Every structure is written in structure tokens, then in C-alpha cells.
Amino acid sequence: MILKIRAAGDPVLRQRARPLRQEEILLPSTQELIASMRETMHDAPGVGLAAPQVGLPMQLAVIEDREEYMKDFTKEMLAERERKPVAFEVLINPVLTLESTPEIEFFEGCLSLPGLVALVPRARKVKVECLDAQGKPRVIRASGWHARILQHEIDHLSGGLYVDKMQSVSLCSLENFNRHWKGKSIPEVKRLLP
């Protein structure tokens, strides 16, 4: 089932989500929510979706970065972003540890801020300790774009949005990003921004 994605300004996006109890994870309602979140993420399309974005203040997020989302990027652009496909992952009650400083900047968008993107500094490497869809402990070590997606989705679980961390001068419409910035390297973008 496709769920309604909440837009910036909805209070649920700015509150800290509650952890899920172990016994909640295997409930049919939670498993249905995970399936619906995956379907909603694909439909949007996006590479991640957190429960607060569908109106539920729960420590639950899903991510998946499909190869088809990368078709418009050159090999150089993918290498610069360290972007490659990421299989479907469920993150429940995640604890994020940055394993490098937030120094890598790329344009980021968000399903709750449709049509906008901005440069956001993120850590290149992270470790995430969480529970999976079956409630089993899992440790994810990620770098590059995978690490960026994890940081973005986990921010949602504490009431954060990428606009809190963005380089405000870089905020632009998706249309203008595609027209003016998409094919440029980040050093070139930063040189051209005021």
C-alpha cells in the first residue's frame, strides 16, 4: 500500500521517534508497515524512507539504492560519490557512529522536501547498530553514498532534516540542479556558488 509522505512543516518530522519494542517488530502490523514503506519508497521514487515521513514517530527506516537510479550518472560522477547499488535494508532502533568527520559534500534531496536539493556535508564512513526486520541485531559498516543515505534517514528519527545541515547558499530546485549543477564536480560547484 502506498502511504502518504509528510512534507516539511508537519510536526511529526521534528519530533524524536520512539524505539520499537522487540515484541512489536514481528507483529503483522509492523511487517505490513515495512512492506508499505518499501512500496512507498519505490513509488516516490527514493532511496530511503523513515517512519516519521509517513506520519509514524517510530525508530524505523528502510533504504535501497537501485542500479536504475544511477543510469543518468557518468562513471566519474558515480566514482566521485562512491555510489553503487545498496540492497534493501530495514533499520530498527539504529545507533549511528560516524567513523570520519562530516567533510564530504554532495547535493541531497528528501521526499519530505519535494523538488529541492542542497549541498550537505556528511561523514564518508559510518557504523550503524540496529535491529533488522526480524528483530535480530545487525551492524552495518558503510562508506560513500550508502553512508550518506544512512545518515539522512537516521536524522529523520531524531527530528532532523537535511536543511538543518545544508550549505544554505546551495539550496535550489531540482529543475535548476539538473540544468546548472548536476554535471559539475563538487569543487566546481563550490567555486561557482556565491
Residues involved in catalysis: 153
Q: Of 97, 85, 3, 59, nearest to 50 (Cα)?
A: 59
Annotate 127-158 with DSSP letters as a single string: EEEEE-TTS-EEEEEEEHHHHHHHHHHHHHHT
Enumerate the β-bridge partners of residue 141: 127
- Residue 169 burial (CB count, 10 A): 11
CB-hemisphere CA count at 13 Å for 156?
35
Please, are residues 155 and 161 in contact by the beta-carbon 8 Å criterion? yes
Please, are residues 108 and 166 in contact by the beta-carbon 8 Å criterion? yes
